Structure 1
Amino acid sequence: MSSTHKAVVVLGDQLDLNNPALLANPPGQADVLMVESHVESTVVWVHKARIALFLSAMRHFADQLRQAGYTVHYRSLNETGKRSLVGEVELLCQQQGYSELDMAEPGEWRLEQEFLELAKTAKLKLRLLEDTHYLCSRAEFAKWASGYKQMRMEYFYREMRKRTGVLMDSAEPAGGKWNFDADNRSAFPKAGPGKIEPPAAFEPDDITQQVFAEVEQYFGDHPGTLANFKWPVTREQALQALDRFIEIRFANFGTYQDAMWTNTPFGWHSLVSSSINLHLLHPLEVIQKAEAAFRENRVDVASAEGFIRQILGWREFMRGVYWLDMPKMREDNALKATRDLPKWFWTGQTKMNCMKDSIGQTVEHAYAHHIQRLMVIGNFALLAGLVPQQVEDWFLAVYVDAVEWVELPNVAGMALFANGGRFTSKPYIASGAYIKRMSNYCTGCKYNPAEKVGDKACPFTTLYWGFLDQHETMLAANPRTGLMAKNIARLDDAQRTALRQKVADTFENIEQL
């Protein structure tokens, strides 16, 4: 039995000594419970690297807690068996005699419901504390959203800039504009990206190596590889990764943040999202370092604004709409998509160079940047009418930085339009021409992005025009997509018939694309 009746539950994405539940319970006042769960690693078919990142970061943090003086009851994969995370917490409470649990708000709706149910059934006093890792609370976001018929990230982002003073010159935005998106859309030069300074990389230590062995033991049939695992697993490493990005890579980030190139998995991106999402880094400290680089004239305002918008704008906005719309968000399927996820989504074995490269690097590194996720993989999923829940499960499974509160609204809302434009003004669709403009993927590809019918027609272009054909009425009614509807309206009956036949053929042979 424990000497205290109270415990703090620390989840795998709450690895911060400033966790509000820890701050409310110094060492000696409460024990700490941490649980590795087979169930959490199999809710979806999780990439080996994502499992390894969570488990290694958790084990390192448990050591940090012990050094800080906490009694930590840590249950590893070898001990938990088939019990769920919440089931293991219940067992620990019974064994140690805990009657009270404190924890920061879980990041996932399902887990929060399970803990609330545990409190009822096991008659535990559960206190969920507001997670101070975020810059906008759930209640604050709900209040903001109540003032809008249609939520738009841009308005929320401006409000957050004003509230925090980030990138503000008195009452005006730094650089004279709120948004420098138009300056951050360049493709790499035709000759290629040239030398890109690599991101920070960390050799797996003994703890991580042990995690690797257990991941292979328990999840050997899961997708991906651990051969390229170099992710930060401690706060110290996360800070090193952030500093290297700010000092070496940040200056080129803005210009090329949307650019894609074969065998260039990381580009100039920061690769700190996984560390922020595990709470190894606080978003405000990341934002402050980025703003300091701008104020010290080490990066231009477009790079600084583009990077900060992703954290202060999109990240906080995604969390807000997730908690506002769950659990309905998970079930949304506004376009009534019914097609199953192709098997090659798990391997990258497709003749489409763009998908082969984007998914291939996902398999190798558990990483792809936002344009690869949205405008290549997500775009294909939307155009092909893939079942939203299958696509959402895939995105949650394969990326090291995936946690449901940020993955689900990005995929359901941004990529798939599954919630019918709840917080987006249009479906984000594009033909092969966009991919050609932003990458070298089309060079040497079997398919021609300029053709929508015929033997060499690019599946993206075919399905783009097929999407316009199928959803013409909806697109015509939206001012932002009216031009797309006018384009499809120009096709005569013979052209439409040929297009529909090619679309049907593409779907029939989707596994062979």
Structure 2
Amino acid sequence: MSTGALRVILADQLSTRLAVITKADKTRDVILMAEVMSEASYVRHHVKKIAFLFSAMRHYAQALRVAGFTIRYVTLDDEDNRQSLEGEILRATEDFAPERVVVTEPGEWRLRESFEALRLALPVPFIILPDTRFLCSHAEFNKWAEGRREFRMEYFYREMRRRYGILLEADGSPCGGRWNFDADNRKPPQKGLTSPKRLSFRKDAITLEVLDLVRRRFPDGYGRLEPFHFAVTRRQALRELDHFIFHMLARFGDHQDAMVEGEPYLNHSLLSAYINAGLLYPLEICQKAEAAYRQGRVPLNGAEGFIRQILGWREYVRGLYWRFMPSYLDNNALEAREALPWFYWSGETRMNCMRQALSDTLEHAYSHHIQRLMITGNFALIAGLDPKAVHEWYLAVYADAYEWVELPNTLGMALYADGGLLASKPYAASGNYIRRMSNYCDTCPYDPSVSTGEKACPFNALYWDFIARHRDRFEQNRRMPFVYATWDRMGDDKQQALRAEARRHVVAMHEGRL
């Protein structure tokens, strides 16, 4: 019998609800999955990220085989592996002579372009289906965005709440009388704030084989491969979801912006890697969080803050990415040109806040959103680091990072490189913010109360230098008049001293002395 369709599953599409699977004919179609070096190395991916995806792919393929599908699974070590998705699709087409090739749209622009080129090279029709795991289609987002000069997430988020009936009263008004409870979610860490016990999943033969593969093939890869605690199946990911809902969500809201030395997780969910790879679905997560609130087990500020990250922010940044790519990647509105310092990769810096966030990243392929935005992102912003270099670093080092979600968060939210398309103000802060929202400063050789001199916190002078050098752009921003009034009251001598201190910090940064 001839092959009907060659159906391609990408590493971040491990869902059985996509049409590429639900419309498959088990008697005639072939499912293609491939581990390829081009995808594993286009940036310097964290070794845990590679291991997570390869193991999850192999478990997913195994489940499809049990369900009766015909699977062509190409491992990284397969001697016939052409080491690119395009090459493996062409090879499978040659081997099976299908009537057509079917794939779900990829999540990154570079793959969309390569697939469009592949369409011309294939001798059979190449069909690209929409990714229906998302709650807002490209067309729906573009309809919302049409005619807007500012794309503020808050208004998009409200529309999504209404569309899916999440946290609404019977009359359609928001639960608690407000759409957003973010103001209640900014408490600094209280003494003794620690992470609840986290799940660690048993490593079966498949995962052990993958860990050995990654150890052999990526000996100089970024990050630490073990210990390896990731869920690698949908069943395990669902256990992770339930564990968060029942044991952490109630305490998530109040301290979601807090940072504690030696506590990388606190009450954050760790679910983003599983959502972005297809093992969990955004709506099921939001509905479980809402149910926990309605059952009285979770306060409204925590449930709302968590749901906003998924139903609002996640869908919003994906919409912006596809609306403005490929030109979005080249944005550098603040003309930031400094090279990414090596300590982003090594974690070796005297700044304790940076060392904590970077060490968490090396160890876990994870740091929570405030560490990303207000520590590593904030430093990159005020030090003027090149946006593309920072983007490639974020894309490489986190297990949940794919360009559609990472690029707008980096260029737009953290670096203001898109000129305010995404954020209404730059998320720049001095050492005082870090002292207020963490205990990192307690053991740091730098003092956040000092702005110049040997013990001066680098964030202080770099912050004020950033404010000064971008005055023409930000002085009229309605959220920043107090900042410039403070700068003007300092007087010329203090201003010059701060800017000179900032230049010394930049030199020290590049010389590995910061």
TM-score bracket relative to the smaller structure: over 0.9
Partner deviation per Cα, 1:334-392 (whole Å, 9 max, x = no partner): 11111111111112111001000110011011110000000001000111111111111
Counterparts of 1:187 and 1:200 in 2: how far apart (Å)?
26
Which residue matches 2:161? 161
For structure 2, the residue ranges without an aligned partner over 5 or more in a row are none
Counterparts of 2:179 and 2:123 in 1: how far apart (Å)?
50
SS of equivalent to 2:432: helix
Counterparts of 2:122 and 2:101 in 1: how far apart (Å)?
11
Higher mean C-alpha displacement, 344-353 vs 200-209: 200-209
Distance 1:349 1:82, change over 3 A: farther
Counterparts of 1:54 and 1:359 in 2: how far apart (Å)?
22
SS of equivalent to 1:172: coil
Deviation of the 1:477 alpha carbon: 1.6
Structure 1 residue 404 and structure 2 residue 406: aligned?
no
Deviation of the 1:216 alpha carbon: 1.2
Which residue matches 2:440? 441
Deviation of the 1:82 alpha carbon: 5.7
Higher mean C-alpha displacement, 107-116 vs 478-487: 478-487
Structure 1 residue 134 and structure 2 residue 108: aligned?
no
Q: Would the aligned equivalents of 1:472 and 1:488 in 2 still touch at CA under 8 Å?
A: no
SS of equivalent to 2:73: strand
SS of equivalent to 1:92: helix
Which residue matches 2:85? 85
Which residue matches 1:512? 513
Q: Percent identity?
A: 47
Q: Would the aligned equivalents of 2:344 and 2:358 in 1 still touch at CA under 8 Å?
A: yes
CA RMSD in angstroms comes to 1.2
Distance 1:82 1:458, change over 3 A: farther
Spell out the pairing of 1:83-482 with structure 2 (5 A cutoff): 83-170=83-170, 171-189=172-190, 191-194=191-194, 196-482=195-481
Counterparts of 2:39 and 2:389 in 1: how far apart (Å)?
17
Q: Would the aligned equivalents of 2:451 and 2:457 in 1 still touch at CA under 8 Å?
A: yes
Counterparts of 1:248 and 1:375 in 2: how far apart (Å)?
26
SS of equivalent to 2:441: coil
For structure 1, the residue ranges without an aligned partner over 5 or more in a row are none
Q: Would the aligned equivalents of 2:2 and 2:28 in 1 still touch at CA under 8 Å?
A: no
Counterparts of 2:204 and 2:156 in 1: how far apart (Å)?
41
Counterparts of 1:35 and 1:496 in 2: how far apart (Å)?
57
Q: Would the aligned equivalents of 1:118 and 1:124 in 2 still touch at CA under 8 Å?
A: no
- Code of the residue aligned with 1:182 in structure 2: it is A
Q: Would the aligned equivalents of 1:45 and 1:397 in 2 still touch at CA under 8 Å?
A: yes
Q: Size of the alignment, in residue pairs?
A: 510
Partner deviation per Cα, 1:282-306 (whole Å, 9 max, x = no partner): 1111111000000000001001000
Q: Would the aligned equivalents of 1:7 and 1:32 in 2 still touch at CA under 8 Å?
A: yes
Counterparts of 2:197 and 2:301 in 1: how far apart (Å)?
22
Counterparts of 2:254 and 2:375 in 1: how far apart (Å)?
19
- Code of the residue aligned with 1:215 in structure 2: it is V
Which residue matches 2:486? 487
Partner deviation per Cα, 1:413-437 (whole Å, 9 max, x = no partner): 0001111111211111110100100
Counterparts of 2:301 and 2:66 in 1: how far apart (Å)?
42
Partner deviation per Cα, 1:283-335 (whole Å, 9 max, x = no partner): 11111100000000000100100000000000000110010011111111111
- Code of the residue aligned with 1:77 in structure 2: it is L
Deviation of the 1:98 alpha carbon: 2.4
Counterparts of 1:120 and 1:350 in 2: how far apart (Å)?
49
Deviation of the 1:99 alpha carbon: 4.0
Counterparts of 2:25 and 2:440 in 1: how far apart (Å)?
54
- Code of the residue aligned with 1:470 in structure 2: it is R
Partner deviation per Cα, 1:235-280 (whole Å, 9 max, x = no partner): 0000000001111111101111111000001100111111111110
Counterparts of 1:141 and 1:472 in 2: how far apart (Å)?
33
- Code of the residue aligned with 2:399 in structure 1: it is V
Partner deviation per Cα, 1:8-41 (whole Å, 9 max, x = no partner): 1100000011112111223124210101111111
- Code of the residue aligned with 1:192 in structure 2: it is G
Q: Would the aligned equivalents of 2:2 and 2:98 in 1 still touch at CA under 8 Å?
A: no
SS of equivalent to 2:396: helix
TM-score by length of 1: 0.97
Which residue matches 2:68? 69
Q: Would the aligned equivalents of 1:93 and 1:99 in 2 still touch at CA under 8 Å?
A: no
Higher mean C-alpha displacement, 119-128 vs 334-343: 119-128
Partner deviation per Cα, 1:460-510 (whole Å, 9 max, x = no partner): 111001101111121112111222222222232222221121111111110
Which residue matches 2:53? 54
Counterparts of 1:313 and 1:169 in 2: how far apart (Å)?
19
Counterparts of 2:462 and 2:406 in 1: how far apart (Å)?
24
Counterparts of 2:24 and 2:394 in 1: how far apart (Å)?
36
TM-score by length of 2: 0.97
Q: Would the aligned equivalents of 1:199 and 1:271 in 2 still touch at CA under 8 Å?
A: no
